[in-house]
Amino acid sequence: MRELKTISISQDQDVVAARAASRELAKSLGFGAADQTRLATAVSELTRNILRYAKKGECHIEDETDDLRAGIRVVVEDQGPGIPDLDRAMEDGFTTGGGLGAGLPGTKRLVHDFDIQSRPGHTKISIRMFSKKRAAAPKALYAIAGRSR
């Protein structure tokens, strides 16, 4: 199953919709409440950054579940000014927006995988989270191992 939902981000309500959609997918895949909250918080931070710095963009939410674990990938993209110094932007306390400077580094700590690419005219941030629970092994693996379910 590879559900893909795309949400255009251009106003505050879109941030709320992206946050809710990510939480809903996480819940449907069996993520615990804490992981649902971490993912929703990360999505909220990234989509708010779109509004703050680029004014509009997109949020793509995808189910990356495989035979071993449930997974979610979220990609946010915009055609804004870009991030001039990625290394500084990833430092705790650094801010260009007058906030606490916890945004991108804090987001990175909330998720299992974080990738950022930015240049003038295009920023793309991809995050992934995986469930801590392993999905049950397919019946064929039990048969190969000589076990029954």
Angle at 82 between CA 15 and CA 125, to 5 degrees: 50
Measure Cα distances from 117 to 38, 97, 105, 121, 126 in Å.
22, 19, 14, 11, 9
Q: What single-letter amino acid sits at 90?
A: M
Calculate the CA 1 to chain-centre distance: 18
Taking only the tens place, the pLDDT of each residue in 81-124 is 999 888 888 887 766 655 443 589 999 999 999 999 999 999 99
Question: Can you give the residue range of the structural domain that contains 45?
Answer: 4-145
Q: Which of the residues in the chain have pLDDT under 70?
A: 1, 3, 94-102, 132-149
- pLDDT value of residue 90: 86
The number of distinct structural domains making up the chain is: 1
- pLDDT value of residue 114: 97
* Closest alpha carbon to 47 in 123, 148, 132: 123
- pLDDT value of residue 97: 57
- pLDDT value of residue 2: 76
- pLDDT value of residue 103: 84
60 and 72 Cβ atoms separated by less than 8 Å: no
79 and 54 Cβ atoms separated by less than 8 Å: yes
Q: CATH number, domain at 23?
A: 3.30.565.10
Place of tokens 């991809």: 126
Which parts of 29-126 fold into alpha helices (H)? Answer: 33-49, 86-89, 103-110
